[in-house]
Amino acid sequence: MTVTRSRSGGRRTPSRPSRRGGDTTGGGEPAARARRGRRPASVRARTADRPTRRRAMRRRWIALLGVLTIAGLGYILFFTSTVGAKTVQVVGARELPEEQILALAAVPDQRSMLRLDADEIRDRVLTLPGIATAAVSRSWPTTLRIEITERTPIGFFNGGNGFHLVDDAGTDFKTVPERPQGLPELSLTGSSAADPVTRSIAGVLAAVPPQLRERVTLAGAATPGSVELTLDDGKLVRWGDADDSDRKAKVLAALLTQPGQNYDVSSPELPTVS
């Protein structure tokens, strides 16, 4: 408290501090109240990054819209014709009609490409005897591609009900009414890819050079390792099995320059002519 004197020398009453602004330097009462109302800095730091209620709701809606979008796209791709099989291509068909292959493939019209079973379609196509291999692939967005390899005849045999064509695997895949031209006859009463003799004869014919195969008129064997070939001039070639066919062909080409009727190249190291 401060005591002042008036100019007249009289004693004045003590002056009191003003309440309007408070004492800002001495830790007055307003400053104390301000300090009591503020949260500690550690609490403010922890709550600064907490999402508000509005922000949390916004994130939930975004997540829900994302789920609904994915579900909608999945439905469109799997259960509508947006990516349905609108076109089916057949590649590799030469003798077989494409219509026959398409009918056998039985691809469901407009079904989503993602729901098509390519292996099942391939297996149906392979039931056609004239097809050796088949592959089914997707060409996005709406084309299914069926690529096949047809069997090629390596010879034929007379089955009594027609002439049966046999491929290089020994498979009897087609019967024709007339004797095929340009193919050797196989000395068989029946053909099966499981028969070792049939497979051996077909394997030899597939292995011999084309210029020699064109001269073969008859092929037969008693065992898988005793294949014999009759040429167009009546000469007999004992070929053996399909091993070392390239070497046997070179040895035979040299032997055929010598007179004889029987040419044995089953052991190319020791060929004989008689």
Tell me: the pLDDT tens digits for 56-70?
A: 788 878 887 777 778
141, 85 in Cβ contact below 8 A? no
Tokens (6 digits) for 134: 């088949």
12, 5 in Cβ contact below 8 A? yes
Check pLDDT > 70 for residue 83.
no
The DSSP output letter for 113 is G
Higher pLDDT, 114 or 150: 150
Check pLDDT > 60 for residue 21.
no
10's torsion region: left (phi>0), alpha (psi -120 to 50) or beta?
A: beta
Q: State which fold the 153-273 domain adopts.
A: Rossmann fold (3.40.50)
Model confidence at 247, pLDDT cuts 50, 70, 90, reads: very high
Model confidence at 44, pLDDT cuts 50, 70, 90, reads: low
Q: How far does Cα 195 stand from its chain's mean position?
A: 33
User: What are the start and end residues of each CATH 3.10.20.310 domain in the chain?
Assistant: 87-150
What is the dihedral angle through the alpha carbons of 247, 249, 250, 252, rounded to the nearest 10 degrees? 120
How far apart CA 75 and CA 103 sit, in angstroms, is: 29
Q: Tell me the pLDDT of the chain averaged across its residues.
A: 82
Check pLDDT > 50 for residue 172.
yes
User: What are the start and end residues of each CATH 3.40.50.11690 domain in the chain?
Assistant: 153-273
Q: What is the greatest pairwise CA distance in the chain?
A: 168
Q: How far does Cα 4 stand from its chain's mean position?
A: 106
Buried/exposed 213-247: b ≥16 CB within 10 Å, e otherwise = bebbeebbbeebeebbbbbeeebebbbbbbebbee
The pLDDT, as a whole number, for residue 3 is 46
Check pLDDT > 90 for residue 234.
yes
Lowest mean pLDDT among 34-38, 160-164, 257-261: 34-38
Please give the average per-residue pLDDT across 87-105, as a whole number.
Answer: 94
The pLDDT, as a whole number, for residue 145 is 95
Check pLDDT > 50 for residue 184.
yes
Between vectors from CA 271 to CA 270 and to CA 273, what angle results, nearest 5°? 140
Model confidence at 41, pLDDT cuts 50, 70, 90, reads: low
The pLDDT, as a whole number, for residue 38 is 62
Lowest mean pLDDT among 6-10, 67-71, 95-99, 149-153: 6-10
Which among 143, 100, 136, 139 has a CA at the least distance from the CA of 119?
136
The pLDDT, as a whole number, for residue 52 is 76
Give burial (CB, 10 Å; 0-12/13-18/19+) of 22: middle
Decide which of 3.10.580.10, 3.10.20.310, 3.90.550.10, 3.30.70.100 is the CATH code for 87-150: 3.10.20.310
Tell me: the pLDDT tens digits for 194-232?
A: 789 999 999 999 999 999 999 999 999 999 999 999 999
How far apart CA 252 and CA 236 sit, in angstroms, is: 11
Check pLDDT > 90 for residue 174.
yes
